[in-house]
Amino acid sequence: MFDLMQVLHAGNTNKNAFKALIAAEYSGVEVKLVQNFEMGVSNKTPEFLKMNPIGKVPVLETPEGPIFESNAIARYVTRSKADNPLFGSTLIDSAHIEQWIDFASMEVDANISKWLYPRFGFSVYLPPAEEAAIASLKRALGALSIHLASNTYLVGHSVTLADIILTCNLYSGFSRILTKSFTSEFPHVERYFWTMVNQPNFKKILGEVKQAETVPPVASKKPATQPKETKPKAKAEPKKEAKKEVEKQPAKVEAAEEEEAPKPKPKNPLDLLPPSKMVLDDWKRLYSNTKTNFREVAIKGFWDMYDPEGYSLWFCDYKYNEENTVSFVTMNKVGGFLQRMDLARKYAFGKMLVIGAEPPFKVKGLWLFRGQQIPQFVLDECYDMELYEWKKVDITDEAQKERVSQMIEDCEPFEGEPLLDAKCFK
């Protein structure tokens, strides 16, 4: 066991650095985070580049020499304590711990980063690449959720290094892009994540964790750069060992790797519209809770609640149905669209139908939006919008009204054809 000091170079919001700091808490190993680390400055000095020639953080300075790559650092910190249970006690447990560490890095972290960083403007934003990243992330979280349905921890019956690394990766996602509507598909992952971040050793480093409420909009076109860390802010804790050159700082929960402190959000123009008697959440609740007599209860309720002054209804029709030759690809495409509409959750309700018994499948939808127009921020932020023809519903036309009702209730056959899928945005 090495008692000598280990010094971690990184900003105090870096989730990769948190891995080692949390492992240190569990292991009773002393790791100090350097003070006043400045991203882009501290990691570009000749001294730093001697420790890590690629100039990235974190780097751990140890009495035996420097180490880079956060997983390697976390392993070293963990191994600093002999027979550390964080590494498991049998060969197979250790192998499983390594397995989940690789899974956390390659399947979870990599896909969260591919989704998040282009949105922050750190790399090029390409919608199909985003769709692929989300699909891969869902696949990973689906598998993880199955494992966690019957396991409290990834391996064995207590926290291991695999839990620490996975939780830090999930933390990056939950706090910045994985909204509740996204994570609710993976209930066991949710339960696991909140259990982990509330363990005292995690909480000490991560602080109070808050789930992202919206998917960050795509940043205005910026030249693609590497993610930057927030410049450390003034310390929130009084110094305990004032004379020490380096000192442990409380980890901040603010968006790690963002370039600037977030600016106050401008109000959404839809919040400035005259109040409406229709309460969107009431409708969504009625929709979700109606299990029988849907026509008499939910559809009737919808028309009773509908406020044509405060809201508008829209039909949409996919422009490229001839491309919809593979059922699951078509369904995934619609799923991706709904995912990207997350930013409009407070202002919209939607139904999307995939129609037909044979390919090519038709995709048609119905949307309810706050206001009389399709909200501009939706047109700006959600690229799928332009893949559809949009037509405002004329509710004085009974046929159109009936079509609205049929779409809400997934009426089958719809326009003479069976439904392959019906998805709801609520």
Ligand X SMILES: N[C@@H](CCC(=O)N[C@@H](CS)C(=O)NCC(=O)O)C(=O)O
Binding footprint of ligand X on the chain (CB under 6 A) = 14, 16, 43, 55-58, 69-70, 226-227, 229, 257
Least distance to ligand X, CB of residue 88, Å = 22
Q: Which residue, 100 or 349, has its beta carbon nearer to ligand X? A: 100
Residues 6+ apart with CB under 8 A from 256: 11, 13, 14, 15, 172, 175, 176, 229, 230
Q: Which residue, 228 or 392, has its beta carbon nearer to ligand X? A: 228
Secondary structure class of 11 (helix, strand, coil): coil
Least distance to ligand X, CB of residue 257, Å = 5
Report the alpha-carbon distance of residue 13 to residue 57 in Å, rounded.
Answer: 12
Least distance to ligand X, CB of residue 212, Å = 18
Q: Which residue, 58 or 335, has its beta carbon nearer to ligand X? A: 58
Q: Which residue, 16 or 80, has its beta carbon nearer to ligand X? A: 16
Preceding omega of 413 cis (within 30 degrees of 0): yes
Q: Which residue, 44 or 285, has its beta carbon nearer to ligand X? A: 44
Least distance to ligand X, CB of residue 39, Å = 7
Q: How do 348-355 and 362-370 pair as beta strands?
A: antiparallel
Q: Which residue, 102 or 322, has its beta carbon nearer to ligand X? A: 102
Joined together, the tokens standing for residue 30 give 């002393």
Least distance to ligand X, CB of residue 17, Å = 8
Q: What is the DSSP letter of 315?
A: E
Buried b (16+ CB within 10 A) or exposed e, 187-225: ebbbebbebbbebebbeebbeebebbeebbebeeeeeee
Selection from 229, 219, 157, 202 nearest residue 12 by Cα: 229
Preceding omega of 58 cis (within 30 degrees of 0): yes
Least distance to ligand X, CB of residue 57, Å = 4
Least distance to ligand X, CB of residue 72, Å = 8
Q: Which residue, 74 or 363, has its beta carbon nearer to ligand X? A: 74
Question: What is the CB neighbour count within 10 angstroms for residue 260?
Answer: 9
Joined together, the tokens standing for residue 297 give 């209860």
Which strand ranges, in their side-by-side order, compose the sheet holding 419-425?
388-392, 311-318, 362-370, 348-355, 419-425
Amino acid present at 186:
F
